[in-house]
Amino acid sequence: MTLEESYGENGSSITAPVSTATPVQAGRVVDALFVAIRKAGHQPSVLAFKRKAPIRLGEAEGVRLALVLFTTQPIAKHERVRALVAGINAMSVEETYYWYSKCMGLDGNRARKALRTLLAD
């Protein structure tokens, strides 16, 4: 699964990859994935292994899902993954945008580690 940002309108949009999740990681955060899909107005059944067409998410849903992917990527313990997802879900929209900008910036790896420490400790 690949999460991408798109810039522009339908006819002339540019996309940039944000995060890629392995099948194992996507399975660990499938609940957050379903929430993002539902909030974007889609049925969870649009997710399929053979799907090639992108699924469009709203900006806020995409930012929240990106944070979930960023923070859970190196984590293997299911309890810690659940704690991270719950912490991100408890954030306001403004907080998610703040952390997203930090995690995408020059010191993105440091910000991701700081977010993991803040939410899971």
Instruction: Say how far apart CA 25 and CA 71 lie, in whole Å.
Output: 11
Instruction: Say how far apart CA 88 and CA 45 lie, in whole Å.
Output: 24
User: What pLDDT sits at residue 16?
Assistant: 83
Share of the chain above pLDDT 70, in %: 97
Residue 57 has pLDDT above 70, yes or no: yes
Domain carrying residue 113: 2-120
User: What pLDDT sits at residue 15?
Assistant: 80
User: What is the sign of the dihedral through the CA atoms of 114, 119, 120 and 121?
Assistant: positive
| Vertex 54: Cα angle to 52 and 55 (nearest 5) | 125
Rounded mean pLDDT of 89-116?
93
User: What pLDDT sits at residue 64?
Assistant: 94
What is the reported pTM?
0.86
Domain count, the chain: 1
Distances in Å between the Cα of 48 and the Cα atoms of 64, 69, 96, 109, 117 are 21, 19, 27, 31, 33
**Each residue of 63-75: pLDDT tens digit?**
999 999 999 988 8
Residue 10 has pLDDT above 70, yes or no: no
